[in-house]
C-alpha cells in the first residue's frame, strides 16, 4: 500500500510517498481502508520536530515513528477476533496515527461510526479539531447556556467547530475573523462577527464569559481586559513554524502561572482522544447541529503541499486529503 513516510525532521520536502506493508489488525483493532484524511497543526509540529521539547518523546535526532497524519475516515475492511460493535463495511472516522495512508489499523477506542448524512471527506475533517473545541468549551470552560463566548480565529479548523458547538450549548457567540471570512462565520451560527482588519475586539465595550483564543496574536493582559471577572480564557495553539519557541512556551505557561493570582480562569487545552466524545460529535453531525467546513482538498501524493498550505495559517476550516 502507499503511505506518507518521513525519516528526518524538516520542512514538507522531507515527506515521501512510499510503498509500505499493509498492516494486520490485532485482536482489539480494526483494519480501515482510508477514504479521506485531514491536516492538523499537529502534523507540521511532528514533521519539523518543533518546539524542541517535543523531540524528547518523538525522537531526539530523527522521528521514532515514520508515519504522519491523525484525522481519517474510511471503511472497516476487517476486525480483530476480540472486536465487538464494528464489522466489515462499517463507515468510521477517528484519530489514528499514520492516517496519511491507504490503510490503517486502529483500536476500537479510536474510532466511531460516521453518520449516514456525512461523506468520508467531511468525517475526516472532524476528529482533532472537533475534539479540541468540544473538550475546551464543555470540560475546560464549563460553558453554560446564556453565557457569552468570544472565539478568536473563528474561521479556522478548530474555530469553525467552536462556533457551532457553542451555539449547540446555548451560548451567545462572537467570532473574530478576517473580512473574507465574515459571511462564513455568520453562516455557521455566530451571533456577532468582528472583522479584525476593521475593528479591534479588545477596544469594544463588552466583556465575555469565555474567550477561546486560537490565534495567539494578543497579550494575555489584553484578553483579560475583555474577560468577565470570573470568566474563563482558554489558549490553544497559535503561531506557525517561524514562531519563536519562547513565544510558544510563554503562551502555555503564563496562563497557568497567572491563574493562581486571579479569579479569572486562565487555561490551556490539549485534546484527548475519546471514543465517547467522537460519538458525541457523530450525533451532532447526524442531527445537523455541526457541519464540517472544508477549505481545500489534496491527493495523497500532495500531502507536502497540503501541509505547506496549512502552515500559512489562513485556511478556512479544514484541509482534507482525499484518497478517492
282 domain-assigned: no
Do 305 and 185 belong to one domain? no
> What is the model's pTM?
0.92
Do 206 and 255 belong to one domain? yes
Do 246 and 304 belong to one domain? no
Do 146 and 255 belong to one domain? yes
123 vs 158: CA distance, rounded Å: 14
Do 58 and 117 belong to one domain? yes
Do 15 and 95 belong to one domain? yes
183 domain-assigned: yes
Count helices and strands in the chain by DSSP H and E runs:
10, 15
DSSP code of 101? B
DSSP code of 79? E
137 vs 144: CA distance, rounded Å: 9
62 domain-assigned: yes
What integer pLDDT is reported at residue 243 of this predicted model?
42
Q: Mapping DSSP to helix (H, G, I), strand (E, B) and coil, where does residue 73 land?
A: strand
Do 164 and 175 belong to one domain? yes
* CATH assignment at residue 234: 3.40.50.720
DSSP code of 67? B
277 domain-assigned: no
Computed from CA positions of residues 212, 213, 219, 223, in that sequence, does the dihedral angle turn out positive or negative? Answer: negative
CB distance 282 to 115 below 8 Å: yes
275 domain-assigned: no
Question: Which grid cell sits at 240?
Answer: 506557525
CB distance 35 to 53 below 8 Å: no
Do 136 and 256 belong to one domain? yes
DSSP code of 169? T
What integer pLDDT is reported at residue 262 of this predicted model?
67
Any idea which residue has 489514528 for its cell? 96
88 domain-assigned: yes
286 domain-assigned: no
How does pLDDT run across 232-269, given as a tens digit for each residue? 999 997 655 544 444 444 445 555 555 555 679 999 89
What integer pLDDT is reported at residue 59 of this predicted model?
87
Do 156 and 85 belong to one domain? no
- Span of 67-71, 262-266, 270-274, 280-284 with lowest mean pLDDT: 262-266
Number of domains present in the structure of the chain = 2
* CATH assignment at residue 301: 3.90.180.10
How does pLDDT run across 75-115, given as a tens digit for each residue? 999 999 999 989 999 999 999 999 999 999 999 999 999 99
CB distance 166 to 149 below 8 Å: yes
pLDDT at 58 over 60: yes
What integer pLDDT is reported at residue 186 of this predicted model?
98
Give me the domain span that covers residue 66: 2-126+292-322
Question: Among 226, 252, 268, which residue terminates a domain?
Answer: 268
What integer pLDDT is reported at residue 247 of this predicted model?
43
How does pLDDT run across 185-211, given as a tens digit for each residue? 999 999 999 999 999 999 998 999 999
Query: How far apart are the two ends of the chain, measured CA to CA in Å?
Result: 14
Do 154 and 255 belong to one domain? yes
Do 20 and 146 belong to one domain? no
Q: What is the mean pLDDT of residues 135-161?
A: 98
Any idea which residue has 471514543 for its cell? 275
28 domain-assigned: yes
Do 180 and 216 belong to one domain? yes
Amino acid at each position: 500500500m502507499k503511505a506518507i513516510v518521513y525519516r528526518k525532521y524538516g520542512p514538507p520536502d522531507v515527506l515521501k510517498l512510499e510503498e509500505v506493508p499493509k498492516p494486520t489488525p490485532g485482536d482489539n483493532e480494526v483494519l480501515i481502508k482510508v477514504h479521506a484524511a485531514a491536516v492538523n497543526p499537529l502534523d507540521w509540529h511532528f514533521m519539523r520536530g518543533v518546539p524542541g521539547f517535543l523531540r524528547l518523546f518523538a525522537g531526539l535526532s530523527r522521528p521514532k515513528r515514520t508515519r504522519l497524519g491523525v484525522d481519517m475516515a474510511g471503511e472497516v475492511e476487517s476486525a480483530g477476533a476480540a472486536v465487538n460493535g464494528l464489522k466489515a463495511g462499517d463507515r468510521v472516522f477517528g484519530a489514528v496515527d499514520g492516517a496519511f495512508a491507504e490503510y490503517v489499523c486502529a483500536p476500537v477506542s479510536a474510532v466511531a461510526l460516521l453518520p449516514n448524512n456525512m461523506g468520508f471527506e467531511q468525517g475526516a475533517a472532524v476528529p482533532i479539531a472537533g475534539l479540541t473545541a468540544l473538550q475546551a468549551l464543555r470540560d475546560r470552560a464549563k460553558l453554560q447556556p446564556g453565557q457569552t463566548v468570544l472565539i478568536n480565529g473563528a474561521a479556522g479548523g478548530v474555530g469553525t467547530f467552536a462556533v457551532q458547538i457553542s451555539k449547540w450549548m446555548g451560548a451567545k457567540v462572537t467570532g473574530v475573523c478576517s473580512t473574507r471570512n465574515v459571511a462564513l462565520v455568520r453562516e455557521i451560527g455566530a451571533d456577532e462577527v468582528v472583522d479584525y482588519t476593521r475593528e479591534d475586539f479588545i477596544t469594544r465595550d463588552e466583556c465575555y464569559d469565555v474567550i477561546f483564543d486560537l490565534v495567539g496574536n494578543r497579550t494575555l493582559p489584553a484578553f483579560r481586559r475583555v474577560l468577565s471577572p470570573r470568566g474563563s480564557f482558554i489558549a490553544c495553539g497559535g503561531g506557525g513554524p517561524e514562531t519563536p519557541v519562547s513565544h510558544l512556551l510563554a503562551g502555555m505557561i503564563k496562563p497557568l502561572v497567572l491563574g493562581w493570582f486571579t479569579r479569572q480562569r486562565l487555561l490551556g487545552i490539549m485534546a484527548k482522544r475519546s471514543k465517547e466524545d467522537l460519538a458525541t460529535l457523530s450525533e451532532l453531525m447526524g442531527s445537523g447541529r455541526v457541519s464540517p467546513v472544508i477549505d481545500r482538498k489534496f491527493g495523497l501524493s500532495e500531502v507536502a503541499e497540503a501541509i505547506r498550505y496549512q502552515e500559512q495559517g489562513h485556511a478556512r476550516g479544514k484541509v482534507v486529503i482525499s484518497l478517492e
